[in-house]
Amino acid sequence: LAAAELCSRPEARSTGRAGNQGDPRCRCLDGSPPRHLPDEPPNSTPTKAPNNQITEKHENLHASDNNATVETRLYEMRNVIQSTALEVLGRARRQHQDWFDDNDADISNFLAEKNGLHKAYMDLRTDATKAAFRCCRLVQQRLLEMQDTRMV
């Protein structure tokens, strides 16, 4: 690849320089020029810095109760930091595409049923529990169907 002047890892190239558009050393494997992300326009309304939000909330907590114990203040501080991080950053997105929404009631019910059948199968291995556990495959198929409909 080096002899052909191709970059094997496009993400390893430096991005953001306009000068490498015509540079033959910075071509993707398919021969196309490197793609650069456009700069984000600045927001019209500036938001407060996260440190300022944390400081303000923390000062408001101390103003309300000066006789709090150290443990109470630590818990309050942790809650302030977590809530501010949630406001600023939002909830974390799942990195794995096959993960389900943990809060979905249908999925929780299916998983509870599956786990109950597995526990019964492991506790008492009779023909009835084996048959019930085999029926668990239907639950798994329903989960996969739900996943497929969500992906579309």
Contact assessment for residue 24 and residue 5, using Cβ atoms and an 8 Å cutoff: yes
Pair of tokens at residue 39: 């700069």
| Mean model confidence pLDDT for the chain | 67
Query: Is residue 20 within 8 Å of 26, Cβ to Cβ?
Result: yes
State pLDDT tens for residues 46-66: 455 666 777 777 677 655 666
- Residue 150, SS3 per DSSP: helix
Percentage of the chain with pLDDT > 90?
Answer: 0
Average pLDDT over residues 101-126: 77
| Confidence (pLDDT) at 33 | 54
> pLDDT per residue over 86-112, tens digit each?
888 877 665 655 556 666 777 778 888
- Looking at per-residue pLDDT, the higher value among 64 and 130 belongs to 130
To which residue do tokens 């085999």 refer? 134
Give the chain's length. 152
Q: Is the pLDDT of residue 142 over 60?
A: yes
pTM confidence score:
0.29
Where residue 152 falls among pLDDT bands split at 50, 70, 90? low
CA distance 79 to 68: 15
At residue 74, the pLDDT reads 84
Tokens of 33: 């020029």
pLDDT digits (tens, 9 = 90+) for 26-48: 555 555 555 554 444 444 444 55
How far CA 141 is from CA of 132, 144, 152, in Å, comes to: 15, 5, 17
Q: Which of 109, 93, 100 is nearest to 145 (CA)?
A: 100
